[in-house]
Amino acid sequence: MSNSPVVLCDAVRSPFGKAGSLYTGVRADDIMVRTLRGLFERNPELDLTQIDDVAIAAATQVGDQGMNIGRSASLLAGVPASVPGYSVDRWCAGALTATTTLAGAIAMGAYDVAIAGGVEHMGNHPMGDLMDPNPRYLAEKLVDPDALAMGSTAERLHDKFPHLTKERADIYALNSQRKTAEAYAAGEIQRDLIPVAIRNPELGWSIATVDEPPRPGTTLEALAALKTPFRAGGRVTAGNAAGLNDGATAAILASEERARALGLPVKARMVSFAFAGVAPEIMGYGPVPATTKALEKARLNIGDIGLFEINEAFAIQVLSFLDHFGIADDDSRVNIHGGAIAVGHPLASSGIRLMLNLARGFELQPHVQYGLTTMCIGLGMGGTIIWENPHYLGKRG
């Protein structure tokens, strides 16, 4: 067993695109390869022969996201053939699960350095592409039909918590757009984006350098007027939910001892993690029990957490989490640079986006000791990782 904590050394991502728009004609594995190469290029201290394993996630593991993308993409990215790799699937929490699985191996002492990543090209592979749900789910009433439609599960959360209104969801969504625009203006987001070559059939080759989905001109009036596609007179819209997106993320994980020896940065220190299940019909509530378990494992309480990175699959999902823990909708500790409602949610990649945002938050706020990354997962699950700030200087005052 290793006595050295598991640390996040660095994390990067591609710019996120709208499904089938920015990355039309680009393979999913090529987005992943460029993201990996960008990670290696900005961490020249890492000898690629010293990587113990590579785990890459995708929610739809077919076509250009298949063929064990953990192995195939790492070979294309220049990782030596002596380094193994594997693929991960826990739907939206793929990259988060790649991280925790590798962290377990590092904590055990089996690995010293590993690479986690995730990719989703929802333009090439629409949500549910080639899925064949067993009819027993519905015939034996294991789940309600709503459980297989993520937008419908979000409507169910609104039903469960009627005080979490559409207006509150729209206000939350507007603030996500605002915070993302402010982070872009301050240069906080761009420095972790790896430029990716793209080819437009009409315009030819160019370089993607910024996220495509943000809508900085969004207004509350415009959000209020949007249709509710999952239910007549519903509350979930395209404006208060993440879109369908393409993109990739990657991270270096290591034991802190090996990271220091190699001269790698240490951006966050893992404290605990947990996954939990809930009724599939309210899958967005999964972060609540997952966070409760992770806090118990860490012997912390919610008041110890100084920064939250919560995946914004739907505004109602975030609001239900905040409501449970008694946190205000506009708490300044939450998603300080905005979230998926603005920048997008390419399913399996998003867990590492949360980590890189949290790492930047740690740098900006050295008075914060602990932060967490959490997300809901299809078919009724949640996943949470609690992290410690390596830059912590003690509480203010």
**Separation of alpha carbons 270 and 337, rounded Å:** 21
φ/ψ (deg, to 5) at 216: -65, -20
The pairing of strands 17-18 and 268-277 is: unpaired
Q: Is 206 exposed, middle or buried (0-12, 13-18, 19+ CB in 10 A)?
A: exposed
**Separation of alpha carbons 54 and 87, rounded Å:** 8
**Catalytic position from the list 9, 92, 125, 158:** 92
DSSP 109-123: TS-SEEEEEEEEETT
Residue 385, strand partner residues: 273, 373
Active site includes 376?
Answer: yes
**Separation of alpha carbons 232 and 239, rounded Å:** 16
**Residue for token pair 């603005």:** 342
**Catalytic position from the list 9, 125, 158, 376:** 376
For the chain, the distance separating the N- and C-terminal CA atoms, rounded to the nearest angstrom, is: 38
Q: How far is CA 60 from the centre of its chain?
A: 16
**Catalytic position from the list 158, 324, 345, 391:** 345
Q: Which residues 6+ apart lie within 8 Å of 247 measured at CB?
A: 13, 14, 15, 16, 17, 23, 31, 119, 120, 344, 346, 349
Enzyme catalytic residues: 92, 345, 376
